[in-house]
Amino acid sequence: MRAYDIIAKKRDGGELTAEEIRFFIHSFAKGDAVTEDQAAAWAMAVFLQGMTAAETAALTEAMVTSGETIDLSPIPGVKVDKHSTGGVGDTTTLILAPLVAAMGIPMAKMSGRGLGHTGGTLDKLESIPGLSIDMSREDFLAQVRSIGVAVAGQTADLVPADKKLYALRDVTATVESIPLIASSVMSKKLAAGADAILLDVKVGCGAFMKNIDDARELARAMVAIGQRLGRRTAALLTAMEQPLGNAVGNALEVAEAAAILANRDDCGFGPLSTDLREVTVELAARLAWMAGKADTVEAGLDLAEQTLLSGAALDRFRRFVEAQGGDSRVVDEPERLLPQAAIRRPLFAAQAGIVTALDAMAVGRAAALLGAGRTRKADPVDPAVGVVLHRRIGDAVEAGDKLAEIFANDDRWQGAAQALGDAYTIGRGDRHEREGWAKPPLILGEVY
Ligand code: URA
Ligand code: CA
């Protein structure tokens, strides 16, 4: 087999065999019979010609087998995983993982760090004093066995082909290809070993997929891969026009998650909104159904609600934080125990009206300006900084009302205030407009 022939076949619109794809990906990962130039040409051919479902599954399998995989079979029960395609203020994992664990569903989560507007789940968790996400494989599995949940950093030996291919796509304008994105995401999920995988595909101006058609196409491609490769896989399409939840920033999102788990209506740094809780409960219901803990999604919704309201999910969060070396008292005293920003600056409404748009990407930019996110992989994040929203789409405001609050550690708050002000669009808000303005839906579709 020759790399040249495989590239030419794809260039001319042919369908590659599983053997050809495996040869190409494994050789590229090892750095022998396929060079960087050849992989770049191949990625562009795939970008332009697309891939069939069979090719996409074969590509995913080849990526998975390029490295180590995690065997979760010693842990009893249906092990689940959730993946978000990424949005602004997406705090769901911090709530969902202890929630489903408390429902008797083990979640062994390999997470990533954030690149871009806010931190990833690992960055958020590390804002909890003492908490570590560096654990041996043995400790990781033992923790999932004993308390049903662990969150660790993704190790370098998992899917090395994806790391190499992603770096190459990044500089060759070949990131935005459905088969390449779908196989990249799914290879990491499959290697992490869960039996059931739920994808949260974000749709909107703050997401990778800006419109519902593209999001559905990506969701279908990922679900098809999972099902072809023998895992229960489903996807929810959820809204990402405005940030999810009011908190955007690492420690702020930990406080937000803890407050939702504790059934409070304030996170210590500002008010909570209902959307983050709602999306998390919808995700938990699907996982309960996929794991066989609920016969229907409706029964799953009831189970998730009860588990939250009973305090069982909060209790599991405390045990999880302690198991990973963290101080679980952050739940009770977030303002004292989480990292504190030196500067707080409110943003006030200049006029009365109704919030008709709240651009998630602009809020994300404001948080990033403050240091909540990173632009290069090696950059640190500032755990304390970020934004807490006080008004959201559909809310009526009076002139002088607090729209949001900025948490900063230096004078970058000024640029952030500008970006945050630009994120809000306040309509004139006469009575007719106020009454006619519906809150946007959160769940936009699902794929099974
Ligand atoms: N996220 C990934 O993990 N891979 C992609 O290709 C795109 C987004
Ligand atoms: Ca949030």
Q: How far apart are CA 448 and CA 236, in angstroms?
A: 9
Domain segments of the chain as ranges: 3-50, 80-333, 341-436
Has 184 been annotated as catalytic? yes
pTM of the predicted protein model: 0.96
Has 162 been annotated as catalytic? yes
- Per-residue confidence (pLDDT) for residue 261, from 0 to 100: 98
Query: Residue 447 C-alpha to ligand 2 middle, in angstroms?
Result: 24
Q: How far apart are CA 267 and CA 390, in angstroms?
A: 12
Query: Residue 48 C-alpha to ligand 2 middle, in angstroms?
Result: 36
What is the CATH architecture assignment of 3-50? Answer: Up-down Bundle (1.20)
> From the CB of residue 26, how many other CB atoms can be counted at a distance below 10 Å?
17
* Angle ∠(215,218,223) on CA atoms, nearest 5: 120
Scanning the structure block, which residue is given the tokens 């796509």? 169
Ligand 1 atom index nearest CA of 188: 3
Probe target for ligand 1 pocket from 90, 174, 181, with the most ligand atoms within 8 Å of CB: 181
Has 265 been annotated as catalytic? no
Query: Quick check: 225 and 56 in contact, CB under 8 A?
Result: yes
Q: How far apart are CA 246 and CA 275, in angstroms?
A: 9
Has 266 been annotated as catalytic? no
Q: How far apart are CA 203 and CA 206, in angstroms?
A: 8
Ligand 1 atom index nearest CA of 166: 6
Query: Quick check: 191 and 69 in contact, CB under 8 A?
Result: yes
What is the CATH architecture assignment of 80-333? Answer: 3-Layer(aba) Sandwich (3.40)
Query: Residue 343 C-alpha to ligand 1 middle, in angstroms?
Result: 35
Q: How far apart are CA 138 and CA 142, in angstroms?
A: 6
Q: Measuring CA to CA, how many Å separate 428 from each of 77, 178, 303, 392?
A: 54, 40, 42, 15
Question: Looking at the CA of 186, which ligand is closest?
Answer: 1
Q: Measuring CA to CA, how many Å separate 94 from each of 79, 278, 325, 389, 397?
A: 17, 14, 16, 19, 31
What ipTM does the predicted assembly reach? Answer: 0.94
Query: Quick check: 86 and 202 in contact, CB under 8 A?
Result: yes
Helix (H) or strand (E) holding 346: strand 343-348
CA nearest to 41, candidates 90, 4, 78? 4
Q: Name the residue at shortest CA distance from atom 5 of ligand 1.
A: 181
CATH class for the domain made up of 341-436? alpha beta
Ligand 1 atom index nearest CA of 169: 6
Q: Which two tokens stand for residue 208?
A: 């990778």
Ligand 1 atom index nearest CA of 184: 4
- Per-residue confidence (pLDDT) for residue 343, from 0 to 100: 98
| SS3 annotation, 203-257 | ECCCCCECCHHHHHHHHHHHHHHHHHCCCEEEEEEEECCCCCCCEECHHHHHHHH
Has 83 been annotated as catalytic? yes
pLDDT in tens, the chain (448 residues): 999 999 999 999 999 999 999 999 999 999 999 999 999 999 999 999 999 999 999 999 999 999 999 999 999 999 999 999 999 999 999 999 999 999 999 999 988 777 666 678 999 999 999 999 999 999 999 999 999 999 998 877 899 999 999 999 999 999 999 999 999 999 999 999 999 999 999 999 999 899 999 999 999 999 999 999 999 999 999 999 999 999 999 999 999 999 999 999 999 999 999 999 999 999 999 999 999 999 999 999 999 999 999 999 999 999 999 999 999 999 999 999 999 999 999 999 999 999 999 999 999 999 999 999 887 878 889 999 999 999 999 999 999 999 999 999 999 999 999 999 999 999 976 655 656 667 789 999 999 9
Query: Quick check: 59 and 51 in contact, CB under 8 A?
Result: yes
- Name the catalytic one among 10, 22, 83, 293: 83
- Name the catalytic one among 184, 187, 273, 328: 184
Sheet with strand 396-397: strands edge to edge: 396-397, 353-358, 424-427
* Angle ∠(42,377,215) on CA atoms, nearest 5: 55
Question: Looking at the CA of 170, which ligand is closest?
Answer: 1
- Per-residue confidence (pLDDT) for residue 430, from 0 to 100: 63
CA nearest to 64, candidates 120, 26, 109, 112? 26
* DSSP assignments along 359-416, one per residue: -HHHHHHHHHHHTSSBSSTT----TT-EEEES--TT-EE-TT-EEEEEEESSTTHHHH
- Cβ neighbourhood burial of 233 (10 Å; 0-12, 13-18, 19+): buried
Question: Looking at the CA of 118, which ligand is closest?
Answer: 2
User: Residues with beta carbon inside 6 Å of ligand 1?
Assistant: 166, 175, 180-181, 184-185
Query: Residue 218 C-alpha to ligand 1 middle, in angstroms?
Result: 11
